[in-house]
Structure 1
Amino acid sequence: MKPSLLVVLAVALCAERAFSLSCFTCKDASSNIQCMNIATCSDHEKYCLTTYSTTGLGNDRKQHITKKCSAFCPSIDVNIGIAGVATSCCETSLCNFSGASSVKTSYTMIAVGVLASLACILRLGF
């Protein structure tokens, strides 16, 4: 009876591992084509997380893509004009093939920030 118990235990352990989540991974890649590495997630990691960030303006604009396994799914979508961050999550193997929604530079936010700064300076009498 002990050998059959060991066989059942071995099958159960192998079957659980076969259903582990797999995600594409990369860190601070400049394009999605650099994010084709595949990692098997640990048991507590239930999401494939993609973070897309941008900094700069015009021709000086830089983008960074990070993909990884994650235990939680943060919902971040921030754009402060010259910088922005967006995240996306999914729950099936290799579901994070494409990048997160891109973050666009908001010239309106830049203008509002400049006008608010000027108003503060003029009010303080500098």
Structure 2
Amino acid sequence: MKILLLAALVAVLCTKHAFSLTCFTCKDATSNLQCLSTTTCSDYEKYCLTSYTSSGLGNDRSHRITKKCAAICPSINLNIGVAGVATSCCETSLCNISGASSVKTSYAVIAVGALVSLVCVLRLGM
């Protein structure tokens, strides 16, 4: 009976390492195809984190993707006209294969900003 309990304990301890979280990783990649490297996360890292950033307009627009293991899951979805950041997290191995939901440029915010600038210039008589 003691041998059976000892065998069960060894199996449980070995199983923990066999089921460590594995995430896709990359830094400042321009596409998901550049994010196919994998990393086994530390015991305290419980999430696969994907960050998607964008900036610029039209042909000058750039996108960057960063994927990594994370201890916490920050929930960020920020869009400031010509720049934005979005994050997504998941908790199973290799779950971050796709990118975070894309960040869209708000042309309405840009138009309002341009209009306000024009009004200020006209009021000041420049």
1:40 corresponds to which residue? Answer: 40
**Matched length:** 124
2:87 corresponds to which residue? Answer: 87
Deviations 1:7-49 (A, max 9, x none): 6665443211111110000000001100000001111111110
Contact 1:45 1:71 in 2 (8 A): yes
So what's the TM-score if we normalise by structure 1?
0.85
2:15 corresponds to which residue? Answer: 15
2:113 corresponds to which residue? Answer: 113
The one-letter code matched in structure 2 to 1:38 is T
The sequence identity of aligned pairs, in percent, is 69
Q: Secondary structure at the match of 1:95?
A: coil
The one-letter code matched in structure 2 to 1:50 is T
Contact 1:76 1:85 in 2 (8 A): yes
2:77 corresponds to which residue? Answer: 77
Deviations 1:37-87 (A, max 9, x none): 000111111111000010110001000000001111111111111101111
**Where does the alignment leave 5 or more consecutive residues of structure 1 unmatched?**
none
1:62 corresponds to which residue? Answer: 62
Q: Distance in 2 between matches of 1:51 and 1:24?
A: 12
Q: Secondary structure at the match of 2:66?
A: strand
Q: Secondary structure at the match of 2:105?
A: coil
Q: Secondary structure at the match of 1:20?
A: coil
So what's the TM-score if we normalise by structure 2?
0.85
1:6 deviates by 7.9
Q: Aligned Cα RMSD in Å?
A: 2.3
Contact 1:80 1:110 in 2 (8 A): no
More deviation, 90-99/115-124: 115-124
1:30 corresponds to which residue? Answer: 30
Q: Distance in 1 between matches of 2:33 and 2:43?
A: 27
